[in-house]
Amino acid sequence: MGMVSGKTAIVTGSGAGIGRAAALRFAAEGAKVVVCDVDVEGGKETAAAIERQGGKAIFIEADVSRVQDVDALITRTVEAFGRLDCACNNAGIEGRIAPIVEQPIDNFDRIMAVNLRGTFLCLQAEIRQMLKNGGGAIVNLASVAGLIGFPGLAPYVASKHGVNGLTKNAALEYGKQGIRVNAVCPGGVDTRMLDSLARQSTGGEKTTREMMEPLHPIGRIGTPEEIAELIVWLCSDHASFVTGANIPIDGGFVAQ
């Protein structure tokens, strides 16, 4: 028996990176998985990988910044699997690096639309459905940038601080109705997003590892699979007394 056997889980932004690793881990631990992304090819690849490993998954294309897409995601999930027990709100973008006075407004708006509005819309729709089920567990993807500042990344930092705030509020509002809500705050993780930030920061002069590994006391960056382990654990009954937490998983980064 897996940690989430018999449960249904949605993972947004699961066409690659942490989202894909989380979707695969949910399936390995016995859940039926709804893979969601705007990247159709990547999302279908994730769902196919789950099926190849003997799991059960469907892919649903959705832009989490759009109310109608999020509502349709929940409707189609329930049509396919009958209920919603777990959700990982992972979809997010990093945008461009620039000081606040040089940040384009459209960059700020797009980051907030996906990272913060998207998480809010998903929380609304997921919680409505979980209330019908009698409970559930949600994990939001924040970041160490939701706990501290990073020069040049003000829109991203603001969005992830907002995700951590939403997490606390949702946990307080729905804990007595059987819904737990937590956030994970990864440090540097080997993903395309981190590669993009490294290229922007160094003008392509340093690799992601050259730039990021010295910043982590553990001496390396993390893997998507390590973050996925925490996500699935938080959605399992093993974490039944954990809610409202913003949990660093960062190789000691914010302990410095």
Active centre residues (catalytic):
156
Could you tell me the two tokens for 196? 């993009």
6: left (phi over 0), alpha (psi -120 to 50) or beta: left
Q: Give whole-number Cα distances, 13 to 40, 93, 102, 204, in Å.
A: 10, 10, 28, 26
Cβ–Cβ under 8 Å, residues 147 and 185? yes
Q: Tokens 């990247």 sit at which residue?
A: 39
Q: How many Å apart are CA 138 and CA 234, to the nearest integer?
A: 8
The H helix count followed by the E strand count for the chain is 9, 7
CB-CB contact of 219 with 175 (8 Å): no
Residues 6+ apart with CB under 8 A from 73: 10, 12, 34, 36, 60, 62, 125
Instruction: HSE, CB side, 13 Å, CA atoms: give it for residue 24.
Output: 20
- Collect all residues with Cβ–Cβ distance below 8 Å to 183 and sequence separation of at least 6: 139, 140, 141, 142, 146, 163, 164, 167, 245, 246, 247
